[in-house]
Structure 1
Amino acid sequence: MQSSRPPRGNAASTRPLIHPEPARIRFARQPIVDGSVAPMGHELSFRWGDGPRRALPPPSPYAVSMLLGQSLLEGCLTHRRPGLLFVEMDAATLLCPIADVLCGALGVIQLPQAIPVEPPVTRRIAQLHARGYRFALAGLTSPTDERLQWLPMLSYLKLDASLASPTVWTDLIEIARRQGVPLIAERVGDPTDYLRLRALGLRFFQGDLITPAQEETPRALPSCDMDVVGRVYGLARQGVPHDALAMLAGSDPALVIRLLMLHRIYAGSDQRPATLADVLLRFPIDVLVGWLHILRITTFDLSSGGQSWSVAVREQIYNYRARLIVARTCGSPGELEAKVFDLYRRLCSREP
């Protein structure tokens, strides 16, 4: 008599812990060099995931959010490439919580040529500058550029070598020298321009002549539960304690992956947290709110298989917690949570 029991090897009888066939995402980086082995920085650029046929969008809040998530999380860029990250932001992005994630130790907020010189923008730059954030003024072509009124709050100036007339190069170099701000020659494509700028004393260069923009195509992380991310974001903005935020965030393993990766970026890999609440405590509140703002608009997946990995991890955590409680191996609720989080961290680890 033939048994109706399914074979042990039946894939349908188990839930995989590996996200099936993760998609690839794309972004680009262009090094800023000074002649040394390692670049002093990288300018990051958004790319559509379906190839180069689509026109690149301006640095809108959505494009910048996608770029930051793809480069820092999926791309693990801070652990693979030394140097500052230059990220261009328009006025709308600068004025929202997204700008808060690019702390001074991490990168430079690049102000494009089209950004308006208006009181709200100036106040926001001054506010972030007072908290240690760094700014670069991009697309300089004239010493009378209206944006130069922000010069006392700038850490870098970027001369557009493709558009600026050679007659104003010395004026811009003198402005940078008087203020003590490094001047970067960007969009360098002509060897003669490069040699002339070098002769004038410029040290930093960026452009296709130096190194073309390099495409990165890392694997996408599992998608987050947008309901959980949205609720954590709302509670964080209200100032809810970190332990309460951790209880809610812990219900979404894909969010935990990202929080652990961000912990390594902002707190360092040598500080191992004991609980998810410890992870959240390492973030300045503005940085945490900024990243939750980014994640709630960029980490969604409408496909039915997008949550399979998270479901499998939640089952593992639930069963492990239940076994610990039944075995009475933990002397306190804190010890129980620490042991559960240790397994959670190992399941969600994304070491580069």
Structure 2
Amino acid sequence: MNDPTLSAPARDFYLARQPILDRKQALFGYELLFRSTAAGPANVDTAIAATASVIAHAAQLGLERVIGDALGFIHVDAEVIMSDIFVFMPREKVVLEIMDSLPVTPPVLARITELMHHGFRFALGDVVRDSPDLQKLLLFIDFIKLDLRDIAAADVARLAALFKQGKKKLLAEKVETRDDYTACLGLGFDYFQGFYFATPAIIRGRKLSPSQLAVIELMALVTSDADNVAIERAVKRDVTLGLNLLRLVNSAAIGARYRIDSLSQAINVLGRRQLQRWLQIMLYAEPARAGAGMTPLLALASTRARMLELLAQRLRPGQRSVADVAFTVGIMSLMDTLFGIDMQEILAQIPVIDEVADALLRRSGFFGELLHLAECIERMEEKDSLVAPALRQLALSTDALVELEVAAFEWTDNVVRFAI
């Protein structure tokens, strides 16, 4: 077996991770999507080449840094399957996703069998109908992915029932609305991929919860330069906030040299800048307190915020206040979804500078350009053609972009877990 010929240099690509959720809305995995800058929009051949390039240079990229504790679903074709690049992949962390159009030849089936014996799992995507070739592949498949955009609702129901009989795990792809999610939940789907969880559902008269109000009150104290005694008093009024603050400052993420047992010490060690950042993250953490772990909205918001901060640091070096504003823009950009309140109304309750408002409401200005780039990457399959122009506008290379993306993913998975 030989490695596939790779048309793209090892770092001549950018990537996105799309969350896969279980029936309880907890993170289960990520589909990793790669695009070569030499490719046209959604060019599958060059996307596969970029995937193979990433795998072959996994030591440089650090796949575990991208997916954290979750599973990573990665597209592979026959050429990649027949190669020797899998030695670079953490088999317990990876699901190899093949397409229904994969040539079902004896050598390919033999290689899939070999990889299964080495501990790899397989998902089958682009399934639109039953067929003899599909039946041959099903013997090797753990996950079946059905794309809601490509299959009529009646066929989704029929195929779901068929595959459930075969004890396969069903994954609904392109789940973009709550109605999509509810319908697939009723059909017995096990996992869900799409951005329905990040779509605002504005509810008139919606009120913030007591915990969210407590966090916003604290944010107001921190940003108004209130003294530490007032901040400590406010933290003590919410037991969960106090416990989480102590947990955070005693975590490996902060790296305190000695154990901290008092809230006053914790506030001093963390500092105002980090305290404000932690409070912004805590707004998204409330739904996770029931024991489900990091929610997808928390992961998306914190990753977006860190990504914008790192971009600002790279593009405006030495201007820490600019990086801080970029983080705030990223974390606030999903608050309309979090609260179920229109963004204009949120900004009336949480005063921000004009540059932040312009970015959040109109995606304009420097911070708006950063936010636009992050959103295009997140929704790579729909907005792939917009990424290259956004990079040119910011004079940012793909090499720098991937470096910052991986750092943002790693920061979210390592730091945010200590915030909840």
**Which protein is richer in helix relative to its size?**
2
Larger RCO, structures 1/2 (Cα 8 Å, 6+ apart): 1
What TM-score, normalized to structure 1?
A: 0.48
**Greater CA radius of gyration, 1 or 2?**
1
What TM-score, normalized to structure 2?
A: 0.41
